[in-house]
A = this chain, B = another copy of it.
């Protein structure tokens, strides 16, 4: 999960994830939403992919990115433990 937390710590990457909530997008479409060069966005996408937060699929000369929800589920489990454990002590 460390990669995921690292990946989520950047606002640009979280905004990319937000965009992918609506629909799958190519790398180019994603970068169109930012005031940033394509290589920069490509790096962010690489990080998101290494963190298993997104998947990519080659479609001809395009690369289509989509959300991978499994890590989000893990994140929820992780956060729930902090809320549950509140009972035992005070």
Contact = CB atoms under 8 A, between A and B. Distances in A.
A24 interface: yes
Nearest to A6: B9
Interface residues of A, number: 26
A8 B22 CA distance: 26
29 contacts: A2-B11, A5-B5, A5-B8, A5-B9, A5-B14, A6-B9, A8-B8, A9-B9, A17-B82, A21-B81, A21-B82, A22-B85, A22-B89, A24-B89, A67-B85, A69-B82, A69-B83, A69-B86, A72-B79, A72-B80, A72-B82, A73-B79, A73-B83, A75-B75, A75-B79, A76-B76, A76-B79, A76-B80, A76-B83
